[in-house]
Amino acid sequence: MADVINIIYLKDGIGGGQDSNGVVTHQENIQITFDEIIENTIDAIADSGLIGGQQHRLNSNLILQSNIEAFVHPDDLGYNWIFELTYSTSGFNESSLEDDTYTPKVSFGKWTYNRVVSVDKETDDVIKLPTGEPYDPQPVEQVSAVLLSVTMKEYSANISRISMIGSINQSAIRICGVSCPKYCAMLDDYRPVPHRDNDGFLTFRNTFVFKLKFFKNKSGQEIGFKLESLAASFNELIDGDLTEITVKDIDDNDVPVATPQMVDAVGAKTTTPYYQEWVIHDLANFSSFGLPSSYPVS
């Protein structure tokens, strides 16, 4: 059995149309390079991994039909084959295919994380002792959040995605019916698993696991995995100079404060909480995964 070395999607042969029932047909040609010479069409189609019922790489509504044509590239000995493919939105009902083989599998769960609570959620007052000092240790809440797992059939392991584990979405995306604003979805795990069907065709069951976090900042905007921190310091800026914050002791002497004091956007001491936001995780474009946007997935 020959292995596929490279696939080229050719401009020549791209076209299609729509019939009176609204069914769209799309044709295209691809060139596949194998690692050894293939002498006949049966082996070329079998080793290509092409099989009726596959989704188009760019549009999951287009389904590959079984009438695949293949021939050796005119200037080649048999390493390079041209395949003429026809896709259709009418689907594919070949009985020999596994049921729902190409339907993504979706499951929902939960994960938890701890968060320091510095402000009363009803009054928005800073949580502190009557002396004005913060609690030590500060109060912590345990938050439950959504864990979303999606397993899809694909035609590559896409190993490069492993390096994206731990990244968060750089733009808003909708995954299996869940709208995730920017920064609210983290790729927590990616597991590619090779799979061969009864006819020996190699595909992959690739599983994406996302942690979703819909944490809202003080203005009510969902910022997810961004870090929101209360600005507090032992120093403040006065006329552009970094100056130690002091208080009077019982002898009316200026002494440094024992705990950080709140500062505002320009670094001046304040009694009004001011929060800063930071992106502390790598950003990634999850739209390139081709994940289903609706739920249930059909």
The fraction of the chain above a pLDDT of 90, given in percent, is 47
Two structure tokens written together for 35: 């690692």
Between 124 and 187, the more confident residue is: 187
Which residues are 169's β-sheet partners?
A: 284
Two structure tokens written together for 26: 């799309």
Strands (E), 197-289: 202-212, 227-230, 232-233, 235-238, 241-244, 246-248, 254-256, 261-262, 275-278, 283-284
Residue pair 39/71 in contact by the 8 Å Cβ criterion: no
Over residues 232-250, the mean pLDDT reads 90
pLDDT band at 191 (very low <50, low <70, confident <90, very high): very high
Task: Work out the mean pLDDT of the chain and round it to a whole number.
Answer: 87
Q: Residue for token digits 């896409």?
A: 158
- In this prediction, residue 290 carries a pLDDT of 85
CATH topology of domain 4-88: Phosphorylase Kinase; domain 1 (3.30.200)
Residue pair 104/150 in contact by the 8 Å Cβ criterion: yes
Residue 98 scores a pLDDT above 60: no
pLDDT band at 184 (very low <50, low <70, confident <90, very high): very high
The reply to whether the predicted model has a pTM over 0.75 is no
Q: Residue for token digits 């959620």?
A: 121
Helix H or strand E encompassing 43: helix 41-48
> What radius of gyration, in Å, describes the C-alpha atoms of the chain?
29
Residue 95 scores a pLDDT above 60: no
Helix H or strand E encompassing 2: none
Nearest-CA neighbor of 50 among 37, 38, 64, 36? 64
Which residues are 81's β-sheet partners?
A: 32, 72
Q: Could you tell me the residue ranges of all domains in the chain? A: 4-88, 105-220+280-289, 232-273
Residue 100 scores a pLDDT above 50: no
- In this prediction, residue 93 carries a pLDDT of 44
Which DSSP state fits 126? B
Apex CA 110: angle with CA 106 and CA 180, to 5°?
65
Over residues 167-195, the mean pLDDT reads 94
Which DSSP state fits 222? B
Residue 25 scores a pLDDT above 70: yes
Residues in the chain: 298
pLDDT digit string (tens) for 194-232?
887 766 677 889 999 999 999 998 888 999 999 988 889
- In this prediction, residue 102 carries a pLDDT of 61
pLDDT digit string (tens) for 101-120?
568 899 999 999 998 887 78
CA distance 151 to 165: 16
Between 131 and 236, the more confident residue is: 236
Kindly tell me the sign of the dihedral angle through the C-alpha atoms of 93, 98, 102, 103.
Answer: positive
Two structure tokens written together for 57: 């790489």
pLDDT band at 135 (very low <50, low <70, confident <90, very high): confident
At 37, the amino acid letter reads I
Between 53 and 163, the more confident residue is: 163
Residue pair 162/279 in contact by the 8 Å Cβ criterion: no
Over residues 75-81, the mean pLDDT reads 92
CA distance 200 to 178: 36
Q: Residue for token digits 């509504």?
A: 61
- In this prediction, residue 230 carries a pLDDT of 85
- In this prediction, residue 203 carries a pLDDT of 82
pLDDT band at 63 (very low <50, low <70, confident <90, very high): confident
